[in-house]
Amino acid sequence: MEGLKTTSPGWPDVLAPSCVSLGCRILFVVEANLNGEMNLKIETDLVSATTHFKDLGNPPWGDESSQDGGPSQSRDPELMAQATVDIRKLQQFLVGQQVNPSKAMCNIVHQNVVHLILLHEDVSLQYFIPAVA
């Protein structure tokens, strides 16, 4: 087993996992529903952590039709749309954006793409992160 062996008074001979081997197996899952609930999950072989957000805004799309002009499909408001993305691509987005947006939006195309939008005054920054299989 790879890792860093550490010794401390309370934890003799603890083998901590190697960060390099963990970095390849980190999954980042973004999921949200129409009720304004959003979950951000980090999953590895060893641990899973989830942050829950509630009461988020969910603005309607214009005249209640879909973006392509056709009729909207009624969806269960509790149903979560989710996408698993490469954490390195998300990190690029988070590190690269030095703006203080007045509004941030996230669109999720189920198991396809995460579309992030940052609005600041008259500027809109958009970032598309494709889902991984």
pLDDT in tens, 62-79: 655 555 544 456 788 999
**Residue 22, pLDDT score:** 46
pLDDT in tens, 16-47: 555 555 445 788 999 999 999 999 999 888 88
pLDDT in tens, 103-126: 989 999 999 999 999 898 888 889
In sequence order, which residues have a C-beta less than 8 Å from that of residue 42 and are 6 or more positions away?
26, 27, 28, 29, 48, 49, 50, 87
* CB atoms near residue 36 (< 10 Å): 13
Residue 108: exposure state from Cβ atoms within 10 A (0-12, 13-18, ≥19):
buried
In the predicted model, is pLDDT for residue 82 greater than 50? Answer: yes
- Count of residues for the chain? 133
Angle at Cα 130 formed by Cα 107 and Cα 23, nearest 5°? 115
**Residue 79, pLDDT score:** 94
Structural domains present in the chain: 4-130 (3.70.10.10)
